[in-house]
Structure 1
Amino acid sequence: MRQSTRVYELVREEILDWRLAPGTVLTETDVAERVGASRTPSREALARLVREGLVRTLPGRGVMVTEVSVDGVAQLFQMREALETYAARLAARNGDPVVFGDLLTRLREARADMEARSRPGDDFAAYYLLIQEFDAAVEQATGNTYMRDALHDVRGHLVRLRRLARRSPARMLQAAGEHLAICAAIRDRDETLAAQAVAVHIHNSLDNILTALVSEVAGSALMGASIPPGRPSNL
């Protein structure tokens, strides 16, 4: 692995996991010291994070971890809908029904496990791993390298939002049903239904996130306001 790639992955994970909070200012020297690397790979890693939108350039000062705002989330979900609905169409057209049939079985089992819990907890780590596997299968089935790269960037921001705080068991159960509908449509090679199921999932996710964001942001000018550092939202 190239050193710049290692630095990129380490800093990216710290941003997604909120160890580097929105508004944190970083320089090449900061990053180099933080991960034990030289300045050149640190510069390359920061440039890659700028392109991904996880940090933005501060002229003469380095970069700053981008804030999470209502406007930004809405724009992110517009891009997500455009990419993921078409990716679902391609996956339904080109994907292996056996692969998606196996994923469908496992998604059903995961949802049944959620329903069976008398007092559901808020640790959905195993389910998130399964969804990552499902997402990877969809990306692979598209056969489109450019789309995979674009989805990678968008999903990085989604991971950041997800890790803000705990998901409610009710929303997770609803999302599990939405994932089942998407996977079943892809397995059945129904492009239209797959795209529609993705759109429903994205719209419900956006409503849930925006509701939580608005509840966190103080003041009357909610649109465009940012979550204060250290004030994660219950998404």
Structure 2
Amino acid sequence: MRASERAYQALRQDILNWDLPPGSVLAEVELSERLGVSRTPVREAVAKLVADGLAEAQRGRGTVVSDVSLDDLDDMFVLRRVLETEAARLAATSNHTEQFVPLAQQFRAISCDSQVLEDPGTYYQLIATMDELIDSAAGNSYISGALSNLRVHLTRVRRMAKDNPQRLAASAVEHARIAEAIANKDPLVASAATIMHLQASLDHILTHAETPKGHHD
């Protein structure tokens, strides 16, 4: 992996985890020392973050991590609803539905596993796997490309709503229903289950959103 890509991945993850909160200055010298690379790869990485919408130029400060606003959340979820319901529908009509059977079983198991829900790393990995499987089964590069960009920003927003074991358990069941509908080749139920999950997710974020502990606006 090129030095610029390593720097990009490291900075991107720091931004998504709020280790670099909104407003953080992305200074080339400081970042090159911290990441152990020269300034040129850092400059390329920061340019890519700007293209992603994760950073922006700010007069008098240089390039900073872009802001996260709940004001944009409704618009983001309108787009997410359009893209994800269509992706689920396409996946349910594809020839790759059998791979969603074990996925649904895993989500059902996680929904009853208090240990996983208290430390949800495994849960989020399973969601990432499901996203990849749906994108692949849907077979539409334009939808998957748009979702890939949107998910980056949704991850930042989701971090503003503290993980709640009860909500995670409910979300796991919602994902299981989507996977089951796709496995059963039922595009209408897959789309409806996706809409129900997205509404529940939006309601949770709006109700529980706050600046992650240790970070400030």
Residue 195 (structure 1) aligned with residue 191 (structure 2): yes
Deviation at 1:82, TM superposition (A): 2.1
Indicate the larger mover: 187-196 or 74-83: 74-83
RMSD: 2.3
Please name the residue that 1:54 is paired with.
Answer: 54
Q: Which amino acid aligns with 2:131?
A: D
Find the partner of 1:159 among 155, 160, 174: 155
Instruction: Tell which deviates more after alignment, 124-133 or 23-32.
Output: 23-32
Is the 2:88–2:190 contact (alpha carbons within 8 Å) kept by the matching residues of 1? yes
Give yes or no for contact 1:90–1:141 (8 Å, CA) kept in 2. yes
Deviation of the 1:95 alpha carbon: 4.8
* 1:20-58 Cα deviation digits (max 9, x unpaired): 111111133333233122233222211221222211222
How far off its partner does 1:103 sit?
Answer: 0.9
The structure-2 alpha-carbon separation of the partners of 1:177 and 1:183, relative to structure 1 and needing over 3 Å to count, comes to same
User: What letter matches 1:19 in structure 2?
Assistant: D
Q: State TM-score, norm by structure 2.
A: 0.88
Q: CA deviation at 1:71?
A: 0.8
The TM-score, its normalising length taken from structure 1, stands at 0.82
* Structure 2: segments with no counterpart, 5+ residues: none
Q: How many residue pairs were aligned?
A: 216
Residues 14, 203 of structure 1: CA spacing in aligned structure 2 closer, same or farther, 3 A cutoff?
same
* Match in the other structure for 1:139: 135
**Residue of structure 1 in register with 2:179 after alignment:** 183
Q: Match of 2:151, SS?
A: helix
Shift of the 81–93 alpha-carbon distance from structure 1 to 2, 3 Å rule, reads same
Specify whether residues 129 and 229 from structure 1 end up closer, same or farther in structure 2 by C-alpha distance, changes over 3 A only: closer
1:183, distance to aligned residue in structure 2 (A)? 0.6
Shift of 1:165: 5.8
Q: Return the letter of the residue paired with 2:22.
A: P
Task: Look up the match of 1:170.
Answer: 166
Superposition deviation, residue 3 in structure 1 = 2.0
